[in-house]
């Protein structure tokens, strides 16, 4: 998940964590996840096209996300949509 999608979920909608996964041999995706602040959250063996493949799971806790030095995202127009996400909160970085 890209930084903008993470900002929407964690900053705009108040999620506590984000979760993601990648195949263990997908090193480029795993490096991007690490740069975004994701931490390991388990490994699983999955059947894929008739063979066993290692699946790596990662999570990004809110406190890790908030501790990163980054340009804050501006989220416009989220206020009226919060109910569609089941969220009723006001966030300083998003419009009400």
The overall average pLDDT reported for the chain is 87
Distance CA 18, CA 62 (A): 8
Which residue in this structure is represented by tokens 């506590």? 16
Domain for residue 8, yes or no?
Answer: yes
Domain for residue 91, yes or no?
Answer: no
Distance CA 36, CA 52 (A): 28
pLDDT value of residue 94: 46
- Per-residue pLDDT tens over the stretch 44-85: 999 999 999 999 999 999 999 999 878 878 888 888 888 888
Question: For the domain that residue 56 is a member of, what is the CATH number?
Answer: 3.40.630.30
The pTM assigned to this predicted structure is 0.77
Domain for residue 94, yes or no?
Answer: no
Domain for residue 70, yes or no?
Answer: yes
Distance CA 36, CA 76 (A): 22
Percent of the chain surpassing pLDDT 90 = 59
Specify the number of domains making up the chain. 1
- Structural domain range at position 24: 3-85
- The CA–CA distances, whole Å, from 63 to 12, 53, 78, 79, 90 equal 15, 31, 22, 23, 19
């Amino acid at each position: 998940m890209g930084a903008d999608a993470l900002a929407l979920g964690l900053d705009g909608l108040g999620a506590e964590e984000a979760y993601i996964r990648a195949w263990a041999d997908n090193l480029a995706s795993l490096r991007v996840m690490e740069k975004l602040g994701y931490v390991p959250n388990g490994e699983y063996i999955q059947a894929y096209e008739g063979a066993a493949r290692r699946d790596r799971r990662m999570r990004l806790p809110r406190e890790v996300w908030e501790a990163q030095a980054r340009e804050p995202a501006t989220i416009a127009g989220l206020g009226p949509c919060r109910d569609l996400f089941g969220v009723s909160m006001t966030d300083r970085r998003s419009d009400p």
